[in-house]
Amino acid sequence: MGENFISITSSDGREMAIPRDTTTGEELAILRHSTAHIMAEAVKDLFPSVKIAIGPAIEHGFYYDFDYEGTFTPADLERIEGRMREIIAENRQFQREELVKEAAIELFSRLDEPYKVELLRDIPEEVVSIYRQGGFIDLCRGPHIASAGLVNAFKLTGVAGAYWRGDERNKMLQRIYGTAFFDRKVLDDYLEKLEEAKRRDHRRLGKELDLFSVSDEAGAGLIIYHPRGAMLRFIIEDFEKREHLKRGYQLVIGPQILKLDLWKRSGHFDNYRENMYFTEIDGQQYGIKPMNCLAHMLIYKSRVRSYRDLPLRFFELGTVHRHEKSGVLHGLLRVRQFTQDDAHIICMPEQLHDEIKGVIDFVTYVMGIFGFDYEVEISTRPEKSIGSDEDWERATSALTGALRAKDIPFTVHKGEGAFYGPKIDIKLKDALDRRWQCATIQCDFTLPERFDLVYVGADGERHRPVMLHRVILGALERFMGVLIEHYGGAFPAWLAPVQAVLLTVTDRQIDYARSVLAELMDTGLRAEGDFRNEKLSFKIREAQMQKIPYMLVIGDKEVASHSVTVRLRNGENLSAMPVNQFAAMIQDKCKNYQ
């Protein structure tokens, strides 16, 4: 077999060759899933009391969940990798067998693998497949590579806790992550990106740059913004408000809680209540909002609307609450309280095409400012949904038609839409080429029907509008987390919470430095002073660690010439310049989003 092909054991037990792709594709997923099996065998060899759970391939590698009374350490991962290399060197074959389900239950009961038994009891098929390699047996549909010797570039990357079946009511297991590639160089490149991702981790940078914190005393998934983090958020919110107003959006604000009857009418109670919080006031039940759309529809219904009023674009930086499981909470990226740059466009059906294109143009403009490329997906009707087939077809066609008109390529994710309508999902690509879900455009014919939204047409008759639910940045918390990692905390001047810090050489310059600070702040610049009696090199190093874009050094010469010497955070020195010249330079950069 040529080196451009890989031998696998297919799900029906046949050996076959498929083209090799070193970076993506089904064959890479097969390699990774097979490597997960090799890892599980190594773990069982080294830790015989461990119970095995599941071990799939995932986007960037694989994992396997283990029930182990101890705690896997970095030293344990090294031992496991060593045992994996021994198994690979033996080139053990992956052998597929089919068993009647009851026989498989008996087999895994005898092996004392309760998680496999539980999975088997939930499988509807009467015949299941298992895979053997050496003395290791695993419940698996396959396919797998033909033999372990095909694995030549792998790495175990970490350990995390994971609830069995993702349910926090179940036991916490230990999840060992790893990755595998066909090519060692591709693996080395990936591992270097992984190290860079650790350096850019927004949780670490959030602490180092004093942006935000999460406190057990406050509660999991609830973000506490420190002054610099709050300033970063304010800058983003201010930018969003100005850009929305330019495009004809109207600012609105809805309440945090609404009566339960409204959530039942919208379908959220039947289709989304496991993600909601509820409360009771004076015997009346309320739902704490997980979305902003209901209040926006009530604003629309507050008076009679004419076709001349449409489209109406309601924009709200709306704070919402969603009951996320504790196991998936992750810094700013997955939280229980967050704010969306949420808007609802209510328009006539014949306006829909242009409105969707307008939102796409808005997304493209904003992502260009922040330095993101993006990819596009369309998500279609899920099993748990409301509305007629006809309305879903109309909505899906509107979204796909707008993308085709803009000549934007997209992929289709079947069954991944919102319960009330299909959606365009926009995945940002950051500096490390990672994908992040942020912007979305959802087309909804169903909720206007349920809430009896109407407008009076040119014919004097009542007609039903259509509604677009859309966000540009998405959840501000999540976007800020992505932004921190994208820039590595080194924000451009227009975004930086602190744009400049004044550094005095000695105490003699403090009075002048204070007057400069007041002058800069009066122009609207975000500046701070470091007037401590410390060495200048120490103060410069601290400012660089805080990733402040500009350091303004003030010594006797600067006092005499009423100037500042400008130093960039990358170590480059600019010539001394008058204070007003520096202020004008920063204002120009902010005006151009630099």
pLDDT tens-digit series, residues 261-301? 999 999 999 989 999 999 999 999 999 999 999 999 999 99
* Short-list 381, 376, 360, 368, CA closest to 468: 360
Annotated catalytic, 344?
A: yes
Same domain, 346 and 443: yes
Residue 7 has pLDDT above 70, yes or no: no
Let me know if 226 is a catalytic residue.
no
342 is annotated as an active-site residue:
yes
Q: Residue 46 pLDDT > 50, yes or no?
A: yes
Q: Is 140 a catalytic residue?
A: no
Which one from 33, 83, 469, 486 is the annotated catalytic residue?
469
Same domain assignment for residues 366 and 480:
yes
- Based on the fold, state whether residues 397 and 438 are members of the same structural domain: yes
Token pair for 142 = 């396959």
520 shares a domain with 387: no
Is 423 catalytic? The answer is yes
Confidence of residue 36 (pLDDT cuts 50, 70, 90): very high
Domain boundary among 431, 459, 486: 486
Q: Is pTM beyond 0.75 here?
A: yes
Same domain, 189 and 225: no
Domain extent at residue 16: 5-200
Is position 293 annotated as part of the catalytic site?
yes
pLDDT of 245 > 60? The answer is yes
Q: How confident is the model at residue 14 (pLDDT cuts 50, 70, 90)?
A: low
User: What pLDDT is recorded for position 3?
Assistant: 53
Residues 173 and 52: their CA atoms lie apart, in Å, by: 10
Res. 8 pLDDT band, cuts 50 70 90: low
As a whole number of angstroms, the distance between CA 155 and CA 84 comes to 10
pLDDT tens digits along 76-98: 999 999 999 999 999 989 999 99
Among 45, 65, 138, 342, the one annotated catalytic? 342
Among the listed residues 51, 116, 268, 293, the single catalytic one is 293
The reported pLDDT for the residue numbered 21 is: 52
Instruction: State the DSSP H helix or E strand holding residue 284, giving kind and residue range, or none if neither.
Output: strand 284-288
**pLDDT tens digits, one per residue of 207-216:** 999 999 999 9
Catalytic residue among 44, 336, 344, 470: 344
Helix axes 184-200, 476-487, angle to 10 degrees: 120
Q: Which of 340, 499, 509, 546 is catalytic?
A: 340
Same domain, 440 and 412: yes
Same domain, 475 and 581: no
As for how many domains the chain has, the answer is 3
Largest CA distance in the chain: 91
Q: What is the DSSP string of 164-195?
A: GGG-TTSPEEEEEEEEE-SSHHHHHHHHHHHH
Residue 23's pLDDT band (cuts 50, 70, 90): very low
Q: Can you give the pLDDT at residue 22?
A: 46
Q: Is residue 279 part of a domain?
A: yes
The whole-number pLDDT of residue 2 equals 47
Q: How many CB atoms are closer than 10 A to CB 328?
A: 13
CATH number for position 393: 3.30.930.10
Residue 250 annotated to the active site: no
Q: Per the structure block, which two tokens stand in for 447?
A: 């909720």
Per DSSP, 468 falls in state: E
Candidate list 322, 336, 567, 569, residue with the active-site label: 322
| CATH value at residue 543 | 3.40.50.800
Q: Residue 362 CB: number of other CB atoms within 10 A? A: 20
In a domain, 345, yes or no: yes
- Among 141, 165, 200, the domain-final residue is 200
Whether 72 is in a domain gets the answer yes
pLDDT of the residue at 393: 92
Cα(178)–Cα(7) distance, integer angstroms = 22
User: Both 169 and 277 in a single domain?
Assistant: no
Q: Report the alpha-carbon distance of residue 208 to residue 273 in Å, rounded.
A: 37
Residues 528 and 444 in one domain: no
Q: Do 439 and 538 reside in the same domain of the chain?
A: no
- Predicted local confidence at residue 555, as pLDDT: 96
Per-residue model confidence (pLDDT) at position 467: 95
Check whether residue 469 and residue 519 sit in a common domain. no
For residue 186, the domain's CATH number is: 3.30.980.10
